[in-house]
Structure 1
């Protein structure tokens, strides 16, 4: 009886998980919208312009240092479960795993990437579970210890809106958090026998590894916080010691909510807890997203593309090592993540208005009709790429060919729409990376037979909701306004975006109709109807 109850509870939690994450995400988006709507786009643009080139370069260097530190997570986890791997493999799985996990979270493959890597190297499922548990413990020991120490040494100021819900002196809270981290070290020092949890055996790591876990996690969080801090303007009047607790609490919130990429959650927490100007903080967060999240994901795709090309040359010569086989097996998954990322970028890109300087150049060089068409084509291509990622992950030929066409639009569209060479360059990088796996995408199955998981659908909806919300935030569009349908001018960004949204909505309707006609969905719907009839009887 107890076993059946636990199984039912497990199924319920598994079903409610995506729903809870979705509610948290929508709440974070609403709070972010309410906070940012107080400021104009010109204020945010001015804050972005105030970020110096030196600050961006320093942030990139800190991000590189941080990703090097992140290798220590997997290295210590392997030591904790008494396994060894070459440094090159540990570095690879750490970088790719973190790049995917930071952008898509555990819901969309952060843990799956590690599972596929380690299982291909001969690790048993239990070994991988213990390793992932060690990774989580490393983060929490470092986070709790660092937050507790800062709360005790230099407690941050509590915002007025939170002062009524929190004690004015948070030093006792810091002491409690610090003691929790210290307790883990004490347990590792004096308990050497394994313990049993839910019938599974777990052993605490040696004391030296436990101390190294706290040091590595602390260094990781400090480096990541510094990567964002250097992007803040000099007149923010916030010291790093004052900013670090805010970043730590934001990262803890991101980990607890499981929202992919921490979308909205990271921004809301930092905006509410920092004392700097909100528009400057939001601009720094946008730049931080590109440096710390997007660029590593693109780099991971490029690494796999280069490796794929080399392995194809080796295969043609008749030699292919085991390392080449497992590396090539993960290429479609990584490329699918990169395609999803560039699709999201295109969806957000069409929302942003064109700068006055580029608008003057566009008036001279590009006809208005082409600009209008490029905007709609870019938005439609972004939405299509979001849906095609599952097909690429499953190596479908049709999804691969459509993705190539959409990526070509993603290169040409931004150039014709606003002369955006940066977005076009990112699309080109992803296109070349995806072309490297053309031989793997050979399955002839139909796109409509592809199963879209709830987590993947949630990620797609998240991107579309956020991009639409950003458009409403910038332009305050009213669908009943006839000007949005009829206005046609180089400076009519709102009308152009509204027509792009209409094209995207039409595409979504076509996709929904296509999936509703497929057999798997009909079977599920018929099963639901039969279940309802039985209950009525």
Structure 2
């Protein structure tokens, strides 16, 4: 059994891809079986017969649906008490939903886009997580309400349910389903005002707001389903309740299947559930995919520049600047989705018959070999675009250049293989959007070094499966034989499809072998990064934990420009990054992706430890799970005061320390070596009294080389040092803090409070903006009954774990000084891998410093 479990863990990635492909294959197989009596010509005829009124109606209902989707976020923001312009909420929700509708991968694409828009608008991670949670609650409430009402009012039974279920019981089931919408209201009625989701506290809306959000979701789903319903040749309004039941079940099946975009699964369930002519249903579904999925994606790309509310009515120069402000944020996911869609269009076009009239005209311009070669080349280009799309999401310069070249070539191939000018125009539009967004793709990483995520591989292979299904369905009347491979004619669509399919299979095999034989990052030469090389980035730092780089126990990944770096350790299979990247924030994404790629090539797992809100968008892009770790106590130096009743205990402690003879002083870094022996005596006394040993990685240790790099604040009594703390301060005056804080065992009351009071005043007098007292682990993690297991465990430890660490006491002590609390997070792999990563963090933090060299340069893979 253990071997079996270990085998599953080892091949988890491959098994996940295989599972997604099996589900997709089952969906396409079911679809093929359902359409066994349908002739492709009938679908084409029905598709061509769609009237202008039907298309206009579907477009209007699609616009209504997406407009209502924007209200999900508006209501959620109102519940959270966040005031943002509707334009901002609309952009966030519209781009998020268009991406997740087309690709699935909701967190990586849609969630990331929403996060970036709201972060630019000033929301923190907790508020954004709550917006997403409330929008999801509204959506499912809408599904439940509308499905229940449809079942309660339906005058027919779905074919799938025609196994003895009477209409009477269907109506009862519908009424019972509607009552499920009342669950959030009942929870609130019985005292549950909020739930903890992913470390973020999300309020449960009151009855009025919950009803409003549910109504909006129901209207959105009604409009979305009606956009498909109206595309049927003779839609009967009385049949809409039955139709919506099938539509709702198709949505649920597509979400549960995890097939990207629900491709194949959604269509199969609709055709199986909804009564009517199957050719008409499939033609309507194809038109619906274009109108409801592809067109909004194209529109989202065009709306990319329209974000900054102030620039909407400003001059053209301001508008251009506004477009550029989010260019690097939203362009990559939007264009990745567009390129993926372009690749799928090329594959589907190559799998279906060409227009006979256009082929007849084409023979006067191009010889047959050019047509055959163009058809094969277009299908291969479409396949490559599927695998280049994730490179755009990662902002790779090489992916941009290769994609642009492939799209330009594909335009020519589309015209040469059958004069598909509509297809060529779509591809030209994608090329134009890609070129306009050139500045967003700045990473120089080689394409071969960029790993493909599980979700993207599954999405690409599902798209290829879709085109394969389309081809075999389109040519199911053809008698396949060995001679078919060698038939070349202008009307030989089936042979061209088979040759293209073989070419795609060879290309996929070649890509797999190429990746398999690529050199491992573990064999790459290493080079040393000296502390001097870190100085340009440290000079730009605005958080003092950047100076933990100088403890001597970390590796570094340095930006090519030298103005940014990240610090990390490798413990087993875990690549653990300490804090946010340091330096120029424009380099952060590039550095994190580079380390992610190196870890992936070495079969390792990435974990980001104690990161702030600014790194959360990159962590989401990396596909990591976000967990709240605790809160950092910050003192706003402009508002800190010892006056007032809230500072009574501090004033008392200050007086008691002064009465004991306490004197505060700061020893300059140049003079610290003279006092090392006295400081070490204090440190040793502190370690003995606390029965602790030195820590590492996330804290400094008493290493003379490290201590001598910084000024040191001391408290003397009768000329003897009784307490000290080394001072960390950013060059730009943004923040001051301390790392090591040690004192003798026999310390008079109030001395440590006295030390912090004087340090805070010292920082304020020198023009710093804030003083940080460090992190209170597990603080702010709400462990309510419905919270995740880890959150409930963390909250229990915080409340009852004083003997282990003193979590609550530490927070209470820092709260005496703090004027605000900033959340800190851990981002890591999901499941047991996260627990293994945290165990690795514990090992490297608890490891005695004897295992490291304090002042030596650290070797890092490059």
TM over 0.5: yes
**Deviation readout 1:284-332 (Å, 9 max, x if unpaired):** 0000000000111112123337889xx9xx9x98998688423432212
- Measured in 1, the distance between the counterparts of 2:603 and 2:478 equals 41
> The residue matched to 1:444 in structure 2 has which SS?
coil
Equivalent residue, structure 2, for 1:106: 105
Find the counterpart in structure 1 of residue 175 from structure 2. 175
Hey, what's the Cα distance between the residues in 2 that align with 1:195 and 1:345? 43
Q: Whole-Å Cα distance in 2 between the matches of residues 350 and 238 of structure 1?
A: 40
Q: How does 1:277-316 map to 2 (within 5 A)?
A: 277-304=277-304
Contact between 1:96 and 1:300, CA under 8 Å: does it hold in 2? yes
Residues 197-250 of structure 1: per-residue CA shift (max 9 Å, x gap): 787644211222111111100100110011011110027897323322222222
For 1:292 and 1:197, the matched residues in 2 are separated by 31
Within 5 A, what are the aligned runs for 1:115-264?
A: 115-159=115-159, 162-164=161-163, 169-188=169-188, 191=191, 193-195=193-195, 201-234=201-234, 239-264=239-264
Q: Secondary structure at the match of 1:234?
A: coil
Q: CA deviation at 1:32?
A: 0.8
Contact kept in structure 1, 2:152 and 2:172, CA below 8 Å: yes
Q: Deviations over 1:4-60 (max 9, x none)?
A: xxxxx9999999766554433222121112112322211111111221122111111
Kindly tell me: are residues 271 and 63 of structure 1, through their superposed partners in 2, closer, same or farther at Cα, counting changes over 3 Å? same
Give the corresponding residue for 1:496.
496
Aligned equivalents of 1:350 and 1:426: distance in 2?
15
User: Could you tell me which residue of structure 2 aligns to residue 44 of structure 1?
Assistant: 43
1:278 Cα offset (Å): 0.4
Structure 1 residue 412: deviation in Å? Answer: 1.6
CA contact (8 A) 1:148 1:176 kept: yes
Displacement after TM superposition at 1:336 (Å): 1.2
Q: 2:57 matched to which residue of 1?
A: 58
CA distance in 1, matches of 2:181, 2:13: 29
Aligned counterpart, 1:516:
516
* 1:372–1:143 Cα change, 3 Å: same
Residues 225/91 of structure 1: CA separation in 2 closer, same or farther (3 Å cut)? same
Where does the alignment leave 5 or more consecutive residues of structure 2 unmatched? 1-7, 524-599, 605-862
| Deviation, structure 1 residue 450 | 0.6
Counterpart for residue 30 of structure 1: 29
Q: 2:342 — aligned with what? A: 342
- Residues 1:355 and 1:200: Cα distance change in structure 2 (over 3 Å): closer
Q: Which residue of 2 aligns with 1:434?
A: 434
Query: Do the aligned partners of 2:359 and 2:418 also contact (CA within 8 Å) in 1?
Result: yes
Farther-moved stretch of structure 1 (475-484 vs 77-86): 475-484
User: Which deviates more, 11-20 or 448-457?
Assistant: 11-20
Aligned to 2:795: none
Q: Secondary structure at the match of 1:364?
A: coil
Q: 1:130 to 1:457 in 2, by over 3 A?
A: same
Q: How does 1:1-40 map to 2 (within 5 A)?
A: 20-40=19-39
For the 8 Å contact 1:69–1:219, the answer to whether it is kept is yes
Query: Are the counterparts in 1 of residues 304 and 323 from structure 2 also a CA contact under 8 Å?
Result: no
SS of the residue corresponding to residue 106 of structure 1 reads coil
Deviation larger for 43-52 or 194-203: 194-203
* Structure 1 residue 182: Cα displacement: 2.6
What is the CA–CA distance in structure 2 between the aligned matches of 1:317 and 1:182, rounded to whole Å? 50
How far is 1:88 from its partner?
1.1
**Conserved in 1, the CA contact under 8 Å of 2:267 and 2:285?**
yes
8 Å CA contact 2:58–2:291 kept in 1: the answer is yes
CA distance in 1, matches of 2:81, 2:237: 47
More off after superposition, 195-204 vs 446-455: 195-204
Partner of residue 67, structure 1: 66
Q: Which is helix-richer, 1 or 2?
A: 1
Task: Give a deviation string over 1:413-437, Cα, whole Å, max 9, x none.
Answer: 2222122111111101100000012
Structure 1: distance between partners of 2:109 and 2:246? 27
| Structure 2 Cα separation of the partners of residues 526 and 450 of structure 1 | 12
- Root-mean-square deviation (CA, aligned residues, Å) is 3.3
Larger deviation, residues 106-115 vs 428-437: 106-115
**C-alpha displacement at 1:190, in angstroms?**
6.5
Partners of 1:88 and 1:352 lie apart in 2 by 41
Q: What is the alpha-carbon distance in structure 2 between the residues aligned to residue 512 and residue 39 of structure 1?
A: 36
Task: Report the Cα offset of residue 496 of structure 1.
Answer: 1.3
Compare 254-263 and 46-55 and name the one that shifted more. Answer: 254-263
Whole-angstrom distance in 2 between the partners of 1:102 and 1:15: 24
Match of 1:6?
none
Decide which moves more: 341-350 or 36-45. Answer: 36-45
The corresponding residue for 1:94 is 93
**Structure 1 counterpart SS, 2:364:** helix
What residue in structure 1 maps to residue 780 of structure 2? Answer: none
* Distance in structure 2 (CA, Å) of the matches to 1:10 and 1:172: 45
Distance 2:235 2:78 in 1: 45
Partner of 2:612: none
- Closer/same/farther in 2, CA of residues 182 and 303 from structure 1, 3 Å limit: same
Please give the per-residue CA displacement for 1:152-195, whole angstroms capped at 9, x wherever unaligned: 12254131x53238565312211221111133344446647335
**Deviation per residue, 1:83-127 (Å, 9 max, x gap):** 221111111111111110110113552222222322333333222
Report the counterpart of residue 383 of structure 1 in structure 2: 383
- The alignment partner of 1:170 has SS state of helix
- Cα deviation, 1:68-95, whole Å, max 9, x if unaligned, reads 1111111111122222211111111111
Structure 1 length-normalised TM:
0.87
Deviation at 1:128, TM superposition (A): 2.2
Judge conservation of contact 1:189–1:207 (CA < 8 Å) in 2.
no
CA distance in 2, matches of 1:202, 1:453: 30
- The answer to whether the 8 A contact 1:185-1:211 is kept is no
Give the match's secondary structure for 2:443: coil
Change (3 A) 1:339 1:305: farther
TM-score for both structures, normalised by structure 2: 0.55
Q: Deviations over 1:441-465 (max 9, x none)?
A: 2332211101100010000110111
> Residues of 2 paired with 1:54 and 1:298: CA distance?
22
In 1, Cα distance between the equivalents of 2:132 and 2:17? 21
Does the C-alpha gap of structure 1 residues 51 and 321 become closer, same or farther in structure 2, counting only changes over 3 Å?
Answer: closer
Deviation of 1:479 (Å) = 11
Question: 1:194·1:203 contact (CA, 8 Å) conserved in 2?
Answer: yes
